[in-house]
Structure 1
Amino acid sequence: MTIAERAVELVPANARIGLGSGRAARAFVRALGERVRAGDLHVEGVPTSEETARLARQEGISLVSLADVEMLDLTVDGADEVDPDLNLIKGYGRALVREKVVAASSRRLIILVGDEKLVPELGTRGRLPVEVVPFALPLVERRLSQLGLRPVPDRRDGDLFVTDNGNHIIDCQINPIPDAAQLDAELNQIPGVVGTGLFLGMAETVLVGDRSDFRLTEEKCRVSDAGGASHRRFRED
């Protein structure tokens, strides 16, 4: 069983679900589409990117907007880092703000990752995306530099990358973060910052797969009263 197939098992009938972005999320959307087209599941999805929206339509998944739903049953998405307490860094795929909005609109956030995304501390991979209003880009760059975060605006063929929201992305070159909550608060206080790639205390379940084929190897769940995480390990037959 892959992590995408396991995630589909967790989708209740007639669910309204957030559809994430990135490689693992695309695998989930395709697996979900198979069940929908077979008539096994009826769902409505809210995509976190225009790319995901196009894929969902191709797979026969009905789409709605956040204006149409009060609360989503769950969101299934990927991540770029997962620490032992299931805190995340997301945004390498550049959809971080919509991903955070959709996750915050959901009763449950399920994350799908390859085992290379598990880190002992957030920031281990050295990169934290921040989405920025275009007008504020110079100010935000200066403030990030003052925080020692070594900002690098994302450019493609010399032009600044533009998100689905019409904003730009700055990649902060970072070391492991000793206090992610404090850093997130500091970044969000900078005028022009729309959102950061820090997703703290949001994921309920993380499905871990082998990096080559996403074969399910581990299932981690947040322990709400202790703030940590429990896990089950799986072996291939």
Structure 2
Amino acid sequence: MIGKDATGRRWSIGDLAHASGLTVRALYHYDEIGLLSASERTASGHRRYTEGDLRRLYRVRALRALGLSLEQIAGVLEDSSDDLVTLRDLLATQLRNLQEQAEHIDRLSNRIHGLVRQLDESSMPDPDQFMTTLEMISVYETGFTQEQREQLAERRAELGPDAVEAARSRWAELVEQLLGHVRDNTPVDDPQVQDLVRRWDELGATFHAVGEQGERTKAAARRMWQDNSAELGRRLPWPAERMTALVGYLERARQAR
């Protein structure tokens, strides 16, 4: 990390990428869409980020974790200021979100363990188990209301068992293809990888609500896989360590868009 100058500390784009877990490509994209631009540049044109830029990146990442799209985040940042009150409000929102998640974990732990025991009985979940897994992933993070649960049930009925089985087969194919790219160390911004990730996300979206709730559900599903990939992977016909690697690979690929 570079040191201090007369006006304070500065960070290179590589420093920010390393600290945040984002790719350099993702930070370039943030710059292109006006979400995060370096306040300074060196004489040779290299980006240099200030403390204000660093705080803005934190806000972007925090809002992203809350399920907002990049477009929504841009609107929030445009309508708010970079001060102690704003930052405190954001941190308080994050804290409330974490507390809600902890409550959901306590409430749903037994139900998830029951589902895991069901998965232990076969090498691959049947359609009903597969659908239940997706619903449980959603409930785990978002705490659906009774109305939302009814909407999920309606969606399940709309899809029907044949569609759910077809989705399971397509998902298994995507897993195999993506694991191949993980094994071959294919760059996450490779066009083929990006296409597979897009298809993965589109497949998952068919099981979620439309609109803002759907975005929250998708974000929850990703966090569930990130936090529990090793345990869930042991219940699938692929080695747990490979599924854990796949989860990280998917997230890096999304950040590289």
TM over 0.5: no
What TM-score, normalized by structure 1, do the two folds share? Answer: 0.24
What TM-score, normalized by structure 2, do the two folds share? Answer: 0.23
Higher strand share: 1
Structure having the higher Rg: 2
